[in-house]
Structure 1
Amino acid sequence: MKTLLYDRRVAPYVFVLPFVLSFLIFFAYPVVSTIIMSFQEVLPGQTRFIGFENYKNLWSDSFFTALLNSSRYTFWTIVVLIPLPLLLAVFLNSKRMIWSSFFRSTLFIPSLTSVVVAGTIFRLVFGQLDEAVMNSLRHAVGLPTVNWLASSSLSMFVLIVLASWRFVGVNLIYFLSALQNIPSELYEAAEIDGANTLNKFFRVTLPLLKPVTIYVITISIYGGYSMFTESFMLWSGNRSPNDIGLTMIGLLYREGIEKNNLGLGSAIGIMLLLITMVINVIQLKSFGLFKKEE
């Protein structure tokens, strides 16, 4: 047995085995089980196949509301959490920037905060009472009290502010690490050719940041469509006025856990997986990731 493990033909498979097992146990098996369950009626102690009935029941107003909310949230997080961390990373990577280590730490600390704690604090900050922090600031400039979490547009604004507060530091680290790997000789060559600061940014920096930008967009799409806890904490549960805070995961939780309809919940999960896969394939194709190199 010892001789077999030290065999050069067997050793690579031994090293890869932990990953293969973890992939099969924690990803492949749950996905296959969910696909099977989406065609079943799952009751305590019994299951029966019902064909596409769960997928037929999927197309409801709640589903489209949740899909719209998740899509809006994902869109705005990408709009904010790609350019803003990128610009901050460029400034912090500059040799002229003072206290850069302090600002890096300060911006990253919010990502270490529990989302439950952050959601609770933001619910108080954006509360409907006159004494809430944001309403107090509005009063200071002569604006009336608003109920932030009762309006679709205002509640989306609160969710984006919460996401930005938590994840700007994370994306900043990704872009900063990529910036530090760009050879300084490229900037020196650009300066010799007469490039100014903007030219160097658009002609050198942005093209070389393409791989990390694709990665950040990909995880942002996944994170946007999988958002649940933030919404759950802001509205103190999975119920919001007119479902303005309902997300795809929130709908899955409502149908699969609260209503104990695991078959329909599985169908929602499979649809969510397909939606995120299609969107990611489209954005990867738009970046030319599937083109053959000449």
Structure 2
Amino acid sequence: MVKRFLYSQKVAPYVFVLPFVLVFLVFWIYPLASSVGMSFQKVTLGQEAQWIGFDNYAKLMGDKTFFKAVGNSAVYMVLTLLILIPFPMLFAVLINSKLMWGREFFKSSFFFPALTSVVVAGTIFRLMFGEMEGSLINSILGWFGIDPVKFLKGQVTGYIALVALATWRWTGVNMLYFLSGLKNIPDDYYEAASIDGASSWQKFTRITMPLLKPTTIYVVTISIYAGLAMFIESMMLWNGNNSPKNIGLTIVGYLYRQGIEKNNLGYAAAVGIVLLAITMIINLTQLAFSGMFKKEE
């Protein structure tokens, strides 16, 4: 009876889906529900939780440090989108070209940084962008007669260091996404375009870009989340969660500061819920504008 039940064509799909549903409920829905509940409470370790309603959210609205963290994360997200979408796409097109030699070597070279620990990468970039004359970047600037720059003590120069780290680390990953999308475009389209006399630029804009739209939307979606959720890179670059004038403080960094460093778990939960809301709003908006919710006729 049990064997017949398990091998039933009606029951089998639910059996295969069950592990995912259980993982989703235990590791996503339950923590999310718990965080929502905590955000309406005053929660500190070793003390009983107190219900305080919307006090945590009201406090957030007047918290200048929180808005500083939101601004930092938003700028970082925008800068990474401007770099980590077009350039990986361009590299993918070049590597996918039939005229490209050493294709596998370049794919491996671009992807290798993603295999490096973010802790190690952050430490290396902190030394590279150090303010001493012997640091790599300042040594290069010295060749052109430029005085040493304190990269990690300025807002703009701090962004340069952060975005440089993100570019080095994630260009290869996004490039592989675009390469997988390019593999799904039939060569017949390009051959027909060549017969019609289309230039390489026309092939790219009229064939490649439109047919890469699903891949591009996916890369944009995960890049938005990655930009807003960035934390370890900033922490390692400034050797801690306390950068000068909070120039490297992110939303997740502020969550960590409130929840772990200050033992204010309820307030940290409110920060996390607001981060989730911001991420969902931005991603749902870009998905709506990209036409992902439209029904195909």
* TM-score between the two structures when normalised by the length of structure 1: 0.99
Aligned mate of 1:157, from 155, 160, 163: 160
Number of the residue aligned with 1:48: 50
Deviations 1:104-141 (A, max 9, x none): 10110000000000000000010011111111111111
Distance 2:11 2:294 in 1: 34
Number of the residue aligned with 2:21: 20
Number of the residue aligned with 1:195: 198
Q: Where do residues 1-294 of structure 1 align in structure 2 (5 Å cutoff)?
A: 1-43=2-44, 44-59=46-61, 60-294=63-297
Compute the RMSD of aligned alpha carbons: 0.8
Aligned residues: 294
| Pairwise CA distance, 1:4 | 1.4
| Pairwise CA distance, 1:286 | 1.1
SS at match of 1:46: coil
SS at match of 1:195: coil
SS at match of 1:239: coil
Q: Structure 2: any 5+ residue segments left out of the alignment?
A: none
Letter paired with 1:288: G
Q: How much identity, in percent, do the aligned residues show?
A: 55
Deviations 1:165-195 (A, max 9, x none): 0000000100011112210001111122221
Distance 2:287 2:144 in 1: 45
Distance 1:247 1:263 in 2: 18
Letter paired with 2:19: P
Letter paired with 2:33: V
Letter paired with 1:252: L
Distance 1:291 1:8 in 2: 32
4+ residue segments displaced more than 2 Å:
none
Letter paired with 1:257: I
Q: Structure 1: any 5+ residue segments left out of the alignment?
A: none
| Pairwise CA distance, 1:45 | 3.9
Distance 1:126 1:203 in 2: 41
SS at match of 1:146: coil
SS at match of 2:50: strand
Distance 1:12 1:178 in 2: 29
Letter paired with 2:122: G
